[in-house]
Each structure stands twice: as C-alpha cells, then as structure tokens.
C-alpha cells in the first residue's frame, strides 16, 4: 500500500472527515484490520482564513509548498490538499515535487462525465465560486459547463462555511438556506451540484435531494486517493 500525504487543517472539520473516509475505504476494500497509510500536515486554520479573506495567495503558496515538501520527505507516494479553496495555489505548491498531486477537480470531473452530466452547479467559498481556477479545469479537462449562485447567495454560502461549518456548527436554518439555493440552481438548469467546499458534505447530503446528483468532492477525492494507494 502506498502512503498518501494530506495538506490539511483548512479546516480541521474536513480534514478529520478525509482521515476517517480514507481509513474506512481501505478497510472496505481490503477487510480485516487494514487501514490507510497516511501522513497529515495540518495547519493552523487561522492562517488559511487570513490568506483567503485578504487574498494573500503568495503567502498561501509558500506555506503549502513547504508542507508538500515535508510530505514528500516523509515518504508519501502522492499527496492531496483537503481544501477546494487552497487549490487556488496548486501550481505553487506542486512545483518541484517528484511525487504526484491528486487534484480534487480530476476526481470530481471524472465522476461528472461518467454520469453523463454536462451542466453542473458549483458551491463553495467565495473564491471557488467567483474565481476561475476550478471552473477553468472543469471546462478544459472535462468539457463541463459550470454555473454558480448569484452574488447574494454566494455571500451567504461563504459566511456559513467560515462562521459555522469550520467551527463544527451545523444549523438547521443554514442547511435550509443551502438547499433553497440548490433548488434554485436546479430550476435554472443545473443537472447536478458540486459540493465544492470540503465542509459542505457535513451539512447537506444526497439524501436531502435524491433526484439531483450531489458530487461530494471529499468522497470522490478519497476514492481516487485509495485507487492510487492500492495501485
């Protein structure tokens, strides 16, 4: 079994879910007492919060590059970043690495194409929805048309992520707000919804809207990592 590295801590809620799911998926496939070989470099989330709020992507890239180097030196055969938002600086923290980076869009985009979906909504933090770094990869590599909520809805989604989900607070009224936005996107023609922040699957799940495909980026990313780890 190959060792997987995780750049985590953004936030600790999602990173814990990655760790849980990686171990569960390895055990599901191999049985017995088998669990994943994992190394986690978990940051102080206050750093990530500041980078995202202030747009200090240069600082983010430098910090994550140092963490990626540590993971490589620790014997990881590949690594991932447990944050859709911090993929904004993937070019910076993958430069010079001799081990592959498992990109969240590649895992999710492959699943979207396998399901035959062409137009999907993307939920996440404000940078994920407003900027082009993930949307461009979905379009360029997979030919997927990405739509996002309107500006006021984006503000609500972003606030709930930072002020509630990243603190482990999952409020019924926030779940209702997310699902109302999802319903509006479906009415506007979205064939599925990318849960493009790794905390969102902790709030809403496929069972909340059985008829509309939810693309859980955490679960799909984990599945791709285990595929790699088990060869």
Count of helix runs (H) and strand runs (E) in the chain: 10, 7
Whether residues 96 and 192 fall in one domain:
no
Cα–Cα separations (whole angstroms), residue 154 to 77, 150, 157: 36, 6, 5
- What pLDDT sits at residue 225? 98
108 and 17 in a common domain? no
- HSE, CB side, 13 Å, CA atoms: give it for residue 216: 18
Same domain as 59, residue 129: no
Q: How many domains does the chain have?
A: 2
Tell me the per-residue pLDDT of 99-133, one tens digit each, with 9 for 90 and over.
999 999 999 999 999 999 999 999 999 999 999 99
* Same domain, yes or no: 109 and 211: yes
User: What 3-state class would DSSP assign to 210?
Assistant: coil
CA distance linking residue 184 with residue 165, whole number of Å: 22
pTM for this prediction: 0.97
Same domain, 8 and 29: yes
Q: What is the pLDDT of residues 164-179, one digit of tens each?
A: 999 999 999 999 999 9
Domain that holds residue 179: 104-217
Where does the pLDDT of residue 192 fall: very low under 50, low under 70, confident under 90, or very high at 90 and above? Answer: very high
Q: What is the pLDDT of residues 65-103, one digit of tens each?
A: 999 999 999 999 999 999 999 999 999 999 999 999 999
């Amino acid at each position: 079994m190959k060792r997987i590295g995780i750049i985590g801590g953004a936030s600790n809620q999602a990173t814990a879910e990655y760790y849980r799911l990686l171990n569960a998926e390895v055990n599901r496939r191999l049985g017995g007492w088998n669990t994943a070989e994992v190394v986690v470099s978990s940051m102080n989330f206050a750093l990530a919060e500041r980078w995202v709020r202030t747009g200090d992507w240069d600082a983010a890239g430098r910090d994550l590059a140092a963490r990626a180097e540590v993971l490589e030196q620790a014997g990881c055969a590949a690594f991932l970043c447990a944050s859709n938002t911090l993929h904004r600086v993937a070019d910076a923290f993958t430069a010079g690495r001799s081990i592959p980076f498992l990109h969240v869009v590649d895992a999710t985009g492959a699943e979207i194409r396998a399901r035959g979906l062409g137009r999907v909504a993307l939920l996440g933090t404000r940078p994920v929805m407003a900027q082009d770094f993930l949307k461009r990869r979905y379009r360029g590599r997979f030919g997927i048309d990405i739509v996002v909520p309107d500006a006021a809805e984006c503000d609500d989604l972003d606030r709930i992520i930072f002020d509630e989900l990243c603190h482990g607070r999952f409020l019924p009224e926030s779940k209702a707000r997310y699902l109302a936005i999802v319903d509006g996107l479906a009415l506007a023609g979205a064939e599925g919804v990318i849960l493009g922040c790794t905390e969102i699957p902790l709030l809403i799940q496929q069972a909340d809207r059985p008829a509309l495909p939810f693309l859980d980026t955490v679960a799909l990313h984990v599945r791709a990592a285990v595929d790699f780890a088990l060869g």
